Amino acid sequence: MLKHLTTAAMGAAMLAGSSLASYAAGHAEYTIRATANSNENDEDYDGLVVFKNYVEAASNGKIEVRFVHRHTALLKRR
C-alpha cells in the first residue's frame, strides 16, 4: 500500500514540476480523485490524507486531491 502511495506521489510531483502552464491564483490545474475504500478510522484512509497533504504541498496548490468514498464512486459508474 505504501509503495503504491509513494509511486503515485512521485508521479504527481513530477507532473506538477513539469507543468509550465500558468494558472489562476487559488485554483488547481489538476484534480486527482482518490477512492477511499475504507472509513475515516482506518489506516488506509490515514495514508490517503498523508498523500493528499504531500501532493498539494509539493505542487504549490497546482494539484488538488479529492477523496471519493467507494460507495459514491460505484453509484456514479452505473
Q: What is the pLDDT of residues 44-68, one digit of tens each?
A: 888 899 999 999 999 999 999 998 8
> Which amino acid is present at 12?
A
Cα separation of 38 and 63, whole Å?
23
51 is in which domain, residue-wise? 2-77
C-alpha to C-alpha distance for 73 and 10, rounded to whole angstroms:
24
Q: Based on the structure, what is the number of domains in the chain? A: 1
DSSP class of residue 32 equals: E
Note the pLDDT tens digit of each residue in 15-50: 555 444 444 456 889 999 988 777 788 888 888 999
The shares of helix, strand and coil residues in the chain, as percent rounded to the nearest 5, are 55, 20, 30
Cα separation, 33 vs 57, whole angstroms = 16
CB 40 within 8 A of CB 74: no
